[in-house]
A and B are shown apart, each in its own frame.
Chain A
Amino acid sequence: QKEVEQNSGPLSVPEGAIASLNCTYSDRVSQSFFWYRQYSGKSPELIMSIYSNGDKEDGRFTAQLNKASQYVSLLIRDSQPRDSATYLCAAGGLYNFNKFYFGSGTKLNVKP
């Protein structure tokens, strides 16, 4: 079983809609969670980090964490074509030297 799982997509949404990206993880000691965006041929760049249960909002992005269900999600409001990319979910545990486990990513297509 993979440590972090994501639906590979592609997830297609129309411009202006809400895109919902989901991620589950298997390690109960995971404490820190990160969403990275990766454009084709580019490196991953951080979108958001979340450490506590609940929602965390930053502009059009909202990360949601539910540790009991081992579930992390990223909502993108008012989706734009520039949001089209692969979104990588990463989980990190305690006392493991900042070792991240990445999911294989969900490809998002925002159609104009």
Chain B
Amino acid sequence: DTAVSQTPKYLVTQMGNDKSIKCEQNLGHDTMYWYKQDSKKFLKIMFSYNNKELIINETVPNRFSPKSPDKAHLNLHINSLELGDSAVYFCASSQEVQRGPQETQYFGPGTRLLVL
């Protein structure tokens, strides 16, 4: 069974469209994340939710809106897609962190988005 899953795996769309990516984890984790990995392999945090509450919100255009219907799901909706949004988007999850050392993050397979 896949621990962290994402759909779709590939997404090719036109500029200006709106699209969503879905993520689900069956690890029982409380915290989920969205990352963007660009063509140079740089992996950058976008958002994080802890038990449905937004806790990390990096400097991301407001065209990107995360939604967490429950702690096992974190979706990413992107409005008015631009060429620069082309990248691989990874979902990840971890145990909840209150204080102290950070917890390992487990990644989903990624969604390869290409905006034409």
Contact = CB atoms under 8 A, between A and B. Distances in A.
Contacts of B100: 31, 94
A32 B109 contact: no
A31 B101 CA distance: 6
B31 A104 contact: no
B66 to A, nearest CB: 14
- Range class of the B interface residue count: 20 to 34
B97 interface: yes
B68 interface: no
Contacts of A17: none
A25 interface: no
B41 A97 contact: no
Interface residues of A, number: 25
Contacts of A49: 104
Given A43-B110, A44-B90, A98 B105 contact: yes
B64 interface: no
A21 to B, nearest CB: 14
Interface stretch (B14-22, B44-52, B77-85): B44-52
Contact of B109 (A42, A93, A98): A42
A95 B110 contact: no
A48 B21 CA distance: 29
A99 B101 contact: no
Given A104-B40, A104-B42, A98 B108 contact: no
Contacts of A102: 42-44
Given A88-B41, A98-B48, A98-B103, 5 more contacts: A42-B109, A43-B110, A45-B107, A92-B101, A95-B99
Interface of B: 31, 40-45, 48, 50, 55-56, 90, 94, 97, 99-110
Interface of A: 31-32, 34, 36, 38, 42-46, 49, 51, 86, 88, 92-95, 97-100, 102, 104-105
